[in-house]
Amino acid sequence: MRAVVFEGHPYKVHVRTLPKPTIVRQTDAVVRLTAAAICGSDLHNYHGVFGSREVPYALGHEGMGIVEKVGAEVQSIQPGDRVVVHLSLTVLGPSFDSIDDADLVLLSDIFPTAWTGVTWSGFEAGDTIAIFGAGPVGLLAAYSAILRGASRVYAVDCVAAQIRAREPAGVARTVDCVGEECVDGHGLPDQSDVVRQAIQCTRVGGGLAIVGVYFAMPTSPGVPRGETISPTVPCPLSEVWKKGLTLRAGPVDAKTAVAPLLELIRAGKARPGFVFSSVVDIEHAPKAYRQLSKRLETKVLIRFEGGAKTGAEGGGRGGSRL
């Protein structure tokens, strides 16, 4: 099979032929991918600050496809099922046959992550909310807040001064969708910048959720730039205490939010695939990684043979081919 592989050289990936997966444990399943997406988390691998300690290793974790084989102990799925891949597999029934892979593949990670970030902030309908980061997770967090009845939604890509001008007391909720590789208003690396600005923008009694990745790893062959990420991020804790803010952070288990998001997609209430700016064949993945790293793409979908698509390429959202 063809796969995107990181070989230990920052800002460089290759497409290699790897052995096809097989059933190792009787609880395993083998899925033939019909679509995959490049995640912002994959860029941490690409930049050499996160990943397996040994190289080479295959990249990617957002995917969906058709089950080809299952182990003897697997009861919930069977060959031929169309599934979304996350920490487990979600089976899609016949009612999803007409829905584009571009909308469904995002259930593997970033749509549940964005939705959960809004939840963790303590959001309630009618709240004001500021989303830090206008990448695909940030866009879907803003989208989630709109779907859930936010009164005003602010998307912050560089600086938050305009929010304070419009909301002197601060917004009710904030979500950090950036993480450790953030930069300050001058474009210089500053791991604390987003958290600091988010705390400043949150009103008394409000809530902050952090779903951006903060995960420092020691330098190794698979993480050649590990030393550039500090495990300690300065935080104005006294401000958190004085305002009585709630703060929740951590990785999101996508499967906990899949069920309601599936229903929103099935009912036509949500179409998250709008975040894809390009659609590519896997052979063009190295260029897609370069484009994403330079912020020249929002998010890239990789389509494989047999994938479901409706309307124009990219789910009818103006997606292009690299």
CA dist 35 to 130, 224, 235, Å?
A: 31, 29, 39
For residue 322, the model assigns a pLDDT of 45
Please state, rounded to an integer, the average pLDDT across all residues of the chain.
93
**3.90.180.10, 3.30.1380.10, 1.10.510.10, 3.40.50.300: CATH of 2-109+254-321:** 3.90.180.10
For residue 312, the model assigns a pLDDT of 39
For residue 269, the model assigns a pLDDT of 96
For residue 320, the model assigns a pLDDT of 41
Q: Which CATH architecture fits 110-217+225-249? A: 3-Layer(aba) Sandwich (3.40)
* Contact status, residue 282 vs residue 291, Cβ threshold 8 Å: no
| 276 has pLDDT over 70 | yes
Q: Average pLDDT in the 11-21 region?
A: 97
Q: What is the dihedral of CA 170, 174, 177, 183, to 10 degrees?
A: 30
| 282 has pLDDT over 90 | yes
Own/partner contacts of 69-77, CB < 8 Å, gap of 24 or more, are 69/22, 69/23, 69/29, 69/30, 70/23, 70/28, 70/29, 70/30, 71/23, 71/25, 71/26, 71/27, 71/28, 71/29, 72/26, 73/26, 73/27, 74/26, 74/27, 74/28, 74/29, 77/29
Domain with CATH 3.90.180.10 in the chain: 2-109+254-321
* Of the listed ranges 78-87, 158-167, 227-236, 237-246, the one predicted with least confidence: 158-167
Domain with CATH 3.40.50.720 in the chain: 110-217+225-249
| Per-residue pLDDT tens over the stretch 304-321 | 987 777 543 444 444 443
| 115 vs 97, higher pLDDT | 115
For residue 24, the model assigns a pLDDT of 96
For residue 316, the model assigns a pLDDT of 40
Q: Is the peptide bond before 56 cis (omega within 30 degrees of 0)?
A: yes
| 192 has pLDDT over 90 | yes
For residue 310, the model assigns a pLDDT of 56
For residue 164, the model assigns a pLDDT of 86
Q: Average pLDDT in the 196-205 region?
A: 96
